[in-house]
Structure 1
């Protein structure tokens, strides 16, 4: 009996010790998992197709894109899961973890059905400009309906974790930074060349911004833009002289080199920098100044720095996907990203920050170029379609003014006029669909009623539905044929649900990130939940994406 009691006591002691050891191990794990990065840096490269990583890979250095790809985690099959693939919706989706259906940023500009006029995704006439007399500072994130992960980090840290947004474009700085940001800064070009903000954030520019603006850094980039390396080595892009590029006013050909100082006179002054590789360099300069000026990542409370490189988009729109200008811009951007990473290592500490890099959308090869090599592509004849559609509306409904607005491949019906003519909304929508689907180079047409009443789980229909906001979107949604656009015959654009617009990079690097890669399909809306999971904070309140567990340690 005593022997049994002794065995039982030893067994209980063993269990107790095991339990204590497990508790100690568990507590250790919790302690480690709660040791968050000092700084999260989100980089959005505007209009960056995924294949730019692979196409220009051999021209990159070891410390920029290659470092992120080889020492971080590379999601090689990352896509946007909605239409339209525009800048405003893209930046909002990256940081909110959801689509326009929920966050409400359905385009850069859209028709507001209540006030009967076009509105800008970041526009806000209730605030004033700070740093300029122009109205370009009247901006805020007020039209974005949901929180960003930066907002959730601010709430979690009792507003002690800072958030700063930076971009040449206002919307590229404002939407990622969210509603609770300490500040968002964007570039005021023309004859100013300054970084500005809005009274939504603060009433004056901080000293570090004023110092940067008076340092003449912007002026220093009004110089010759030539290729970084011998142009003959740029074998990953087309010929420099061709008929598929726009170029700058005051220069007969869209060919290197470009004298930006001389050309600035005919191209809105400092605005010319936006459409060159130097706009990215200027953005990097300002981002590094922000790390110092705001003391980001200098304590144990996680800060967020949202950086968007906008010049890649301006260059792509002007010169096109296959241009020497695009290639040089990415070769130079690689150097800027390396410079930013080096600054983070020095100022925040290597292994003390987490960084992700993605894009807000891709871009189509210039359709006129695709035509020249035998690929189906082209331009929608909007003028002919408009005349044909007007005749249809008069014949069918006895009125040509039933359409209130056409924008973003959507038609908005005049509800008051429909009621006056005693016309059924859904019937009119369906008749318009049956008409437009017969027009050349129109692939699909859908009614708002279908988007509101039917649940789509795949295909282009799912993408349209994810981008459809019942209160803000139009009555009829039109989808063009693949590689057919409404645009000039020079330069590239974007907006579709096809792979050239949806497939974008997604790279994670730094603290809490494993080294590796995957071809598993990931979605842009997975980024915010992944960062939220890493930080142990609430997901953005409208998030529909899922954490990418395989990315996290």
Structure 2
């Protein structure tokens, strides 16, 4: 027996090292399972990016008991819910929001610093998606003169197109042009938006095509929008909408011709006085029409029908129009979300049928949140109010005249930023940083202004948290202004009816982020996530390059 001991010992070590080597190949150095070749090849047939315009996070929880099982609840219960998701920049508005979601970065990098902004070189105001080099397709109006040229970096949709050698399709859809153009990126096969007025058609731009494809012309010819020329009645009994305020209250706007902001809203009667098909926008029917068109695109473009991943970007814009019109505490906003829940269920069923449940991946988020109507907050004894900019401008103009001998030292005020005339500053032999600082000190004495920062501070400092961090992420060194103003929480520059957004305050930054489908874990997190994390998370899932300006990070908890 002892003679065989060396052989037994050798056999033991051989088996140990063979087993250990095999095990090591399956485990990484930190003990986690190593990636296999088959895992590297997993690809969803279709990615569906959904942006709900002006959706606060608490719309998920507030209306939860009214939702069905196939819409929001399907995403939450079977997908991954990032409960503490925020915009990490301001202004929190539609153009920057859509750009940030799809580029994986902030306005400081992608350059979309507002829906509109003052362009220093031309001394004019520009729109985030406008481009006069192109013309409309599908209408004779100028509403189609659009392209993504003002965006400075690539999108997740661009990177997917590049990765697939342009074989994977990208189709982007929204009522708003900017809600389609910016998500589609530079390489989209098509971006479509809605032209209302007397037409009620989906249109595009010669940036993408010279004529609409047959499925779009067929959709427009079917008078699909015409079916929504009907009264807007509540989906459920109004007395069941206990999560919202009174139906008749002074905090809501009226359609032209209405006597009270109450259900039902008689769209056929109000049609002519409210720009005809445009009245669909501030009703839930605009979202339903968007879902109709998205389902038509699914079939018309044969999305998700092969092994090459396609991308469908859909933005539901009517939630924003309704929020601006009625406010976040209105029965109209509740009804709009209950109807959107049904439209989402309809969209998901269409995806199940056309693409196959478990073969596509969805993310859903928002482009910004919204404040409750300040007039309503005041009525509840909460600190809130309205900034009287006209009075401020007069007082500030007097300060400028007295201090510098001219009001013209300020060329523009927009997006809560003052733009200075640098030529005048130089001609007066003034130090730009000191001028900015002196103006900031003056503005801090005005009622309603909470904080003021200067362009020099934005360029020279590195903020890592709080309001200055949010402002800096929204500050583009070539495009942004010289003095940045932050209003007190609860203060807005807006009318006394309806809700608005745009600030760095938490009610504008806290929005949903849900993932669902192929490659997505089931669960939730209360760890902070940020909007620029979405694109790198999806890029990691797809195994493609991050958009070239990415500053966000993949959310590891989300991915299987």
State yes or no: 1:469 paired with 2:472: no
Match of residue 441 from structure 2? 434
CA–CA separation in structure 1 for the residues paired with 2:167 and 2:8: 56
1:330 alignment partner, SS class:
helix
Q: CA deviation at 1:13?
A: 7.8
1:93-242 aligned at under 5 Å gives the runs 93-242=100-249
Q: CA deviation at 1:39?
A: 0.5
How many residue pairs align between the two structures?
Answer: 553
Q: CA deviation at 1:327?
A: 0.5
Match of residue 421 from structure 1? 428
CA–CA separation in structure 2 for the residues paired with 1:290 and 1:266: 32
CA–CA separation in structure 1 for the residues paired with 2:425 and 2:468: 27
State yes or no: 1:84 paired with 2:108: no
Match of residue 402 from structure 1? 409
2:256 alignment partner, SS class:
coil
Match of residue 559 from structure 2? 552
Match of residue 342 from structure 2? 335
CA–CA separation in structure 1 for the residues paired with 2:317 and 2:236: 23
State yes or no: 1:514 paired with 2:521: yes
1:292 alignment partner, SS class:
helix
CA–CA separation in structure 1 for the residues paired with 2:138 and 2:269: 26
Q: CA deviation at 1:247?
A: 2.0
CA–CA separation in structure 1 for the residues paired with 2:277 and 2:555: 41
1:224 alignment partner, SS class:
coil
Match of residue 443 from structure 1? 450
CA–CA separation in structure 2 for the residues paired with 1:202 and 1:342: 30
Match of residue 387 from structure 1? 394
Q: CA deviation at 1:20?
A: 6.7
Q: CA deviation at 1:453?
A: 0.6
CA–CA separation in structure 2 for the residues paired with 1:5 and 1:274: 83
**Which residue, out of 273, 285, 296, partners 2:292?**
285
Structure 1 pair 24/361, CA: closer, same or farther in 2 (3 Å)? closer
Structure 1 pair 220/511, CA: closer, same or farther in 2 (3 Å)? same
CA–CA separation in structure 2 for the residues paired with 1:130 and 1:214: 15
1:314 alignment partner, SS class:
helix
CA–CA separation in structure 2 for the residues paired with 1:57 and 1:520: 22
The Cα offsets for residues 369-421 of structure 1, whole Å up to 9 and x where unpaired, read as 00000000000011110110111011000001111111000000112222233
State yes or no: 1:497 paired with 2:504: yes
Q: CA deviation at 1:79?
A: 0.6
Q: CA deviation at 1:24?
A: 9.0
State yes or no: 1:44 paired with 2:51: yes
Q: CA deviation at 1:47?
A: 0.2
Runs of 4+ with deviation above 3 angstroms: 1-28
Match of residue 527 from structure 1? 534
Q: CA deviation at 1:2?
A: 10
2:552 alignment partner, SS class:
coil
CA–CA separation in structure 2 for the residues paired with 1:8 and 1:301: 51
The Cα offsets for residues 479-522 of structure 1, whole Å up to 9 and x where unpaired, read as 00101000000000001111110000011100011111111111
State yes or no: 1:349 paired with 2:356: yes
Q: CA deviation at 1:22?
A: 7.2
TM-score, normalised relative to structure 1: 0.97
The Cα offsets for residues 436-477 of structure 1, whole Å up to 9 and x where unpaired, read as 110110001111011001111111000000000000000110
CA–CA separation in structure 2 for the residues paired with 1:280 and 1:186: 12
Structure 1 pair 434/67, CA: closer, same or farther in 2 (3 Å)? same
**Which residue, out of 273, 286, 290, partners 1:266?**
273
Structure 1 pair 546/125, CA: closer, same or farther in 2 (3 Å)? same
Match of residue 308 from structure 1? 315
CA–CA separation in structure 2 for the residues paired with 1:119 and 1:505: 30
Match of residue 30 from structure 2? none
State yes or no: 1:294 paired with 2:301: yes
1:479 alignment partner, SS class:
strand
CA–CA separation in structure 2 for the residues paired with 1:73 and 1:551: 6
CA–CA separation in structure 1 for the residues paired with 2:381 and 2:466: 26
**Which residue, out of 541, 547, 551, partners 1:540?**
547
CA–CA separation in structure 1 for the residues paired with 2:255 and 2:278: 11
CA–CA separation in structure 2 for the residues paired with 1:447 and 1:408: 14
The Cα offsets for residues 236-293 of structure 1, whole Å up to 9 and x where unpaired, read as 1000100000120011111111111221201111111111000000000000000101
Q: CA deviation at 1:118?
A: 0.4
1:75 alignment partner, SS class:
strand
CA–CA separation in structure 1 for the residues paired with 2:308 and 2:22: 30
Match of residue 455 from structure 1? 462
1:521 alignment partner, SS class:
strand
CA–CA separation in structure 1 for the residues paired with 2:175 and 2:202: 8
